[in-house]
Amino acid sequence: MENTIDITCFSIVNKEGYDLIVYQCGMSECKPNHSYGPALRDHYLIHYVLSGQGTFYVDGKAYKISKNQGFLICPNVITYYEADKDDPWIYTWVGFLGIKAENYLKLANLDRYNPIFKYENGGFIEKCFEDMRIAAKLKYGGDLRLQGILSIFLSELIERAERSDMFGSSYKDSYIKKIMMFIETNYSRDISIADIAEHVGLNKNYFSSFFKQHFNITPQEYLIKYRINKACELMKNEALSISDISRSVGYNDPLCFSKVFKKINGYSPKLYRKNMLL
């Protein structure tokens, strides 16, 4: 059986709209061969081993985990974990979800297929978990404090992540797809580069560097060219005025639109349409 030192669980009524929200946190001292699963969760769950060792099983793989290592359980993935028979582990954990949870974990180089991390400066992480357990007992401000401490914990994992592996082809592809999808579905709105960076979960400066490295163009230049290309397509519809087209591609000021259009194409929108329809 599990000897529970401290467990705090939460009943979340409204889960929508949170960047991060803590479902549960705690710490357990396990007896030899104590196990959990096979089972799945509906949220993310990170375990961090304080002492001892055990084995984590996911997707047909077995990972030996010991002190200063942790493992991630992803939502709706069947996992199983078991304490060592001779040196059973003591671990602490936090379960969470949120609209930015997946992106933050990717920045920490953690996902279903790369679920293990190592953190030598265990004292910092241990303090984060301890603070979360304390915050969980607060009567009024607990939820807010928990979100803050969880953010600090994840930021530390991100800061210490192995950068050489962090942006492999699969990660790059994932970010590029999200960037393209966001632009394609939001170019008609008044969006900024900061909005795109926030959506994909990257720092604005790093996002701009990453984007230019991949596309050989700044994100601002790309967004402008994307909008103007869409405007050129709309020019074929004679029922639309230049002002209609301007608003349809994210420019509420037709004069500004005309200046940008001419800079890109060499013609004013009116002259472009006239020449195109000849």
Burial of 22-57, coded b for 16+ CB within 10 Å and e otherwise, reads bbbbbbbbbeeebeeeeeebebbbbbbbbebbbbbb
Mean pLDDT, rounded, for 157-184 = 72
Let me know whether 159 and 178 are in one domain. no
- Give the pLDDT of residue 190: 87
Q: What is the CATH number for 278?
A: 1.10.10.60
Q: CA–CA separation, 215 vs 180, rounded Å?
A: 11
- The greatest distance separating any two alpha carbons of the chain, rounded to the nearest whole angstrom, comes to 84
Rounded to the nearest 10 degrees, the angle between the axes of helix 204-215 and helix 219-234 is 60
Q: Is 44 in contact with 95 (CB distance < 8 Å)?
A: yes
Rounded to the nearest 10 degrees, the angle between the axes of helix 219-234 and helix 254-265 is 100
* pLDDT tier for residue 177 given thresholds of 50, 70 and 90: confident
Q: Say which DSSP state 88 is in.
A: B
* pLDDT tier for residue 170 given thresholds of 50, 70 and 90: low
User: Which residues does 229 contact at the CB level (< 8 Å), separation at least 6?
Assistant: none
Domain enclosing residue 80, as ranges: 2-165
Q: Is 10 in contact with 136 (CB distance < 8 Å)?
A: yes
User: Which residues does 267 contact at the CB level (< 8 Å), separation at least 6?
Assistant: 261, 275
Let me know whether 174 and 121 are in one domain. no
Let me know whether 233 and 194 are in one domain. yes
Place of tokens 């992480």: 125
pLDDT in tens, 6-29: 334 444 444 555 788 898 899 999
Mean pLDDT, rounded, for 132-137 = 90
Q: How many domains does the chain have?
A: 2
Let me know whether 189 and 155 are in one domain. no
Could you tell me the two tokens for 89?
Answer: 């582990």
Selection from 190, 19, 200 nearest residue 210 by Cα: 200
Let me know whether 208 and 129 are in one domain. no
Let me know whether 41 and 152 are in one domain. yes
Q: What is the CATH number for 69?
A: 2.60.120.280
More confident residue, 58 or 37: 58
User: Which residues does 198 contact at the CB level (< 8 Å), separation at least 6?
Assistant: 204
H-helix or E-strand containing 275? helix 269-276
- Give the pLDDT of residue 205: 85
Let me know whether 159 and 278 are in one domain. no
Let me know whether 223 and 254 are in one domain. yes
* pLDDT tier for residue 122 given thresholds of 50, 70 and 90: low
Backbone angles phi, psi at 109, to 5 degrees: 65, 40
Of the residues 100, 131, 165, which one is the last residue of a structural domain? 165
Place of tokens 């942790």: 70
